[in-house]
Structure 1
Amino acid sequence: MEQELEVTVNGTSYRVADLNDEARSQVGNLQFVEGEIARLNAKLAVYMTAKIAYENALREALPRSLQ
């Protein structure tokens, strides 16, 4: 049996199927934005990993100080 989609606002849960058109539209907007945020966070993780690799490569490429 498929579980009903629910949204919780201010501690109250609502079945999306029971919401009016405007509320369902806003739920869709929130789902879209949350998906975009997740996508951007994944992209940021890739860039941060690359940054660390470039920093490490730079450290290795720098001349060693004579002591």
Structure 2
Amino acid sequence: MSDTQIITIDGIDYNLDNLTEKARLQIQNIRFCDQQIRQLQNEWAIADTARLGYANALRREVEKHKI
């Protein structure tokens, strides 16, 4: 099995070993940004779920004291 790492950019496969140091650095930057985006999406989902729970609790509280 080969240790060759391939990255696809705009539908073209590139061997990472053949890219310049600057190109590899940009790939690292993109990967970091992708990781941050995933983290923020996870945090958004947690906050959205919590908000729904709070809204449901509020709705129940308001219904209990409805006149």
Q: CA RMSD in A?
A: 1.7
Pair 52,2 (structure 1): closer, same or farther in 2 beyond 3 Å: farther
Tell me the equivalent position of 1:18. 18
SS in 2 for 1:4: coil
In the superposition, the TM-score normalised over structure 2's length comes to: 0.84
Q: Percent identity?
A: 30
Give 1:43 deviation, angstroms: 0.6
d(CA) in 2 for partners of 1:49, 1:63:
21
Aligned pair count? Answer: 66
Residues 8-55 of structure 1: CA deviation (Å, up to 9, x unaligned): 111101121211111101000000000000111111110011011001
Q: Are positions 1:44 and 2:44 aligned together?
A: yes
Equivalent position amino acid for 1:48 in 2: D
Take 1:3 and 1:55, find their aligned partners in 2: how far apart are those partners? Answer: 51
Q: Distance in 2 between matches of 1:54 and 1:2?
A: 52
- Gaps (5+ residues) in structure 1? none
What 5-or-longer segments of structure 2 have no aligned partner?
none
After TM superposition, the score normalised by the length of structure 1 is: 0.84
User: Comparing both structures, which one devotes a greater share of its residues to helix?
Assistant: 2
